């Protein structure tokens, strides 16, 4: 099956049997009818439908090398600047649909699996079969438009245990057995965002050091359908509500986060990308340029989100008659400068793209790493600006039900805007509230801040990329030496 449509997406998820726990109960019935998933699934269904829209299909798909049928452009391994541009255009189309609020928009994991594919040959050092498995899995995802989540991070207790516990009782995720049919995996993973609204899950923990010499049971990567026996998922409380008026963002874009439990799950051999080799774990990861390829997708998303917040702030200051106040000009201009920066970094990433040495064209790493340093500051700063401008007006906001009740007349008298009806004005403030004060917005801020790791981790990527380069040190050394 080539690119799927929205209905197919929903049908597949609804057909899943993986146990999903919500507030202590198993989710039953169609997942697409459950408050915690319905809005998001509707949004993603629309996104998949775009791939079939005659006006957009050419911009969103390319011909599969297997059978020539249309597959999603975010699966395309770029070999030219034109490929990078086509990838960007298709990613933008989706980003402008969800305005950047979906951190796990399908193109994110499509890009990820593509990235690992470009490095598959590294696995041949361990076994040609591993390389084959990864290539096959990539082709399977691409040709079946698999919606994928990932599990990279383990709970704190698992990580501690993996580092210090040399016994069999270590609770860090590990291979507990190997059978003719596959590996038996036990452990838990945090933060599989959208776990329950995806088809499959890609598992690739940072391995703890091996407790004994020969093989490291903590080192492995694989991908499996959610439905395998022994897998279960636990949800946090949902921030979604069903009124699009009252909760314009969470009713559309709330992505559930999950803890995923692997309780002695049998992972078939053909789905294993490597196992037992700690060194390969980091070699494949860095060799895949995951952070660079994904960083390109993420930057497109950043831009869409920034534009949306900018528009919101522009409408806010118009409504408050403050467009010409000095502090509004200064605060807004910093967001504008941020938007220009993101757009320029995207241009630079493509303009300075470099061959990866394996036949693919890698977007320039440094501008993308810079974006990953800047946005975790820019995003909260924008929200901060919005909060400061909205001030106490962000606190007391009625809901749509009031406008249909006996007090509607009072609201229509007292809540009108200069150029907007009371209902429109209130809708704007509900959006601002969700973004700047509600639980959905709270998670967005935290999510953007730690998207690719904490500040040190993200800083260190760019720092390391510069550390071997003596250019600027040499320049100052020769200046000091008076050579000028």
35 binds a second copy (CB under 8 A): no
Choose between 25 and 359: whose C-beta lies nearer to a second copy.
25
By CB under 8 A, the count of residues binding a second copy is: 131
230 binds a second copy (CB under 8 A): no
* Alpha carbon 207 to chain centroid, angstroms: 22
Euclidean distance between CA atoms 126 and 121, whole angstroms: 10
Residue of 237, 242, 270, 279 that binds a second copy (CB under 8 A): 237
Stretch that binds a second copy, among 52-60, 176-184, 230-238, 287-295 (CB under 8 A): 230-238
For a second copy, what does the binding mask look like between residues 92 and 111, x meaning CB under 8 A?
Answer: -----x-x------------
* Alpha carbon 100 to chain centroid, angstroms: 10
8-state DSSP, 34: S
Choose between 266 and 320: whose C-beta lies nearer to a second copy.
320
Show contacts with a second copy in window 379-398 (CB under 8 A). Answer: 380, 384, 387-388, 391-398
Give least dist CB 226 to a second copy, A.
16
Residue of 259, 265, 280, 292 that binds a second copy (CB under 8 A): 259
Give least dist CB 249 to a second copy, A.
9
The total number of residues written for the chain in this structure:
484
Q: How many CB atoms lie within 10 A of CB 424?
A: 13
Q: Considering only CA atoms, which of 51, 67, 65, 147 is closest in space to residue 104?
A: 147
Residue of 56, 89, 176, 310 that binds a second copy (CB under 8 A): 310
Residue of 116, 285, 367, 382 that binds a second copy (CB under 8 A): 367
56 binds a second copy (CB under 8 A): no
Q: Considering only CA atoms, which of 220, 221, 218, 234 is closest in space to residue 160?
A: 218
Residue of 45, 84, 280, 431 that binds a second copy (CB under 8 A): 431
For a second copy, what does the binding mask look like between residues 401 and 430, x meaning CB under 8 A?
Answer: xxxxxxx--xx-xxxxxx-----x--xx--
Stretch that binds a second copy, among 29-37, 84-92, 196-204, 233-241 (CB under 8 A): 233-241
Give least dist CB 63 to a second copy, A.
30
Stretch that binds a second copy, among 115-123, 206-214, 259-267, 279-287 (CB under 8 A): 259-267
Choose between 105 and 232: whose C-beta lies nearer to a second copy.
232
Q: Considering only CA atoms, which of 165, 118, 111, 124 is closest in space to residue 280?
A: 124
Q: Considering only CA atoms, which of 161, 99, 20 is closest in space to residue 304?
A: 99
Euclidean distance between CA atoms 444 and 321, whole angstroms: 28
Contacts of 92 (CB under 8 A, 6+ apart): 300, 303, 304
Euclidean distance between CA atoms 137 and 156, whole angstroms: 30
Rg of the chain over all Cα atoms, to the nearest angstrom:
24
Given a contact cutoff of 8 angstroms between Cβ atoms, the answer to whether 434 and 249 are in contact is yes
Show contacts with a second copy in window 128-157 (CB under 8 A). Answer: 153, 155-157
Stretch that binds a second copy, among 20-28, 54-62, 211-219, 279-287 (CB under 8 A): 20-28
273 binds a second copy (CB under 8 A): no
Q: How many CB atoms lie within 10 A of CB 75?
A: 25
Euclidean distance between CA atoms 189 and 216, whole angstroms: 18
Show contacts with a second copy in window 171-200 (CB under 8 A). Answer: 171, 188, 190-191
- Name the β-bridge partners of 148: 200
Residue set of the binding site for FAD? 193
């Amino acid at each position: 099956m080539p690119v799927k449509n929205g209905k197919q997406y929903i049908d597949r998820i609804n057909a899943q049997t993986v146990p999903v726990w919500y507030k202590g109960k198993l989710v039953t019935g169609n997942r697409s009818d459950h408050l915690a998933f319905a809005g998001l699934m509707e949004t993603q269904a629309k996104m998949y439908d775009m791939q079939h829209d005659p006006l957009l299909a050419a911009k969103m798909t390319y011909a599969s090398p297997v059978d020539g049928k249309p597959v999603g452009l975010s699966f395309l391994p770029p070999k030219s600047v034109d490929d990078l541009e086509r990838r960007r255009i298709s990613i933008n189309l989706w980003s402008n649909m969800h305005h950047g609020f979906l951190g796990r928009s399908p193109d994110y994991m499509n890009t990820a699996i593509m990235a690992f594919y470009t490095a598959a040959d590294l696995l041949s050092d361990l076994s040609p079969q591993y390389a084959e498995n990864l290539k096959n899995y990539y082709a399977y995802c691409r040709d079946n438009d698999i919606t994928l989540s990932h599990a990279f991070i383990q709970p704190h207790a698992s990580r501690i245990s993996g580092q210090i516990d040399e016994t069999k009782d270590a609770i860090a995720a590990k291979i507990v057995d190997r059978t003719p049919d596959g590996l038996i995996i036990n452990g838990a993973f945090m933060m599989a965002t959208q776990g329950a609204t995806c088809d499959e899950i890609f598992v690739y923990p940072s391995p703890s050091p091996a407790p004994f010499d020969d093989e490291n049971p903590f080192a492995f990567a694989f991908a499996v359908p959610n439905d395998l026996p022994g897998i279960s998922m636990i949800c946090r409380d949902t921030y979604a509500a069903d009124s699009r008026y009252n909760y314009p963002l969470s009713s559309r874009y709330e992505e559930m986060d999950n803890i995923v439990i692997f309780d002695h799950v049998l992972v078939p051999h053909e789905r294993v990308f490597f196992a037992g080799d700690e060194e390969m774990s980091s070699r494949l990861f860095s060799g895949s340029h995951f952070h660079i390829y994904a960083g390109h997708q993420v930057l497109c998303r950043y831009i869409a989100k920034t534009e949306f917040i900018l528009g919101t702030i522009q409408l806010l200051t118009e409504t408050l008659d403050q467009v010409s106040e000095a502090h509004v000009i200064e605060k807004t201009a910093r967001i504008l400068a941020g938007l220009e920066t993101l757009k320029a970094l995207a241009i630079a990433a493509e303009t300075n793209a470099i061959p990866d040495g394996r036949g693919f064209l890698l977007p320039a790493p440094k501008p993308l790493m810079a974006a990953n340093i800047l946005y975790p500051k820019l995003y909260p700063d924008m929200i901060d600006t919005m909060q400061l401008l909205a001030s106490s007006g962000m606190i007391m906001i009625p809901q749509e039900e009031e406008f249909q009740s006996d007090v509607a007349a009072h609201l229509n008298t007292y809540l009108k805007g200069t150029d907007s009806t009371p209902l429109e004005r209130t809708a704007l403030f509900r959006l601002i509230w969700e973004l700047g004060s509600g639980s959905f917005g709270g998670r967005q801020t935290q999510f953007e801040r730690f998207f690719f790791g904490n500040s040190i981790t993200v800083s260190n990527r760019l720092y390391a990329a510069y550390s071997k380069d003596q250019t600027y040190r040499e320049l100052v050394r020769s200046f000091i030496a008076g050579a000028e």
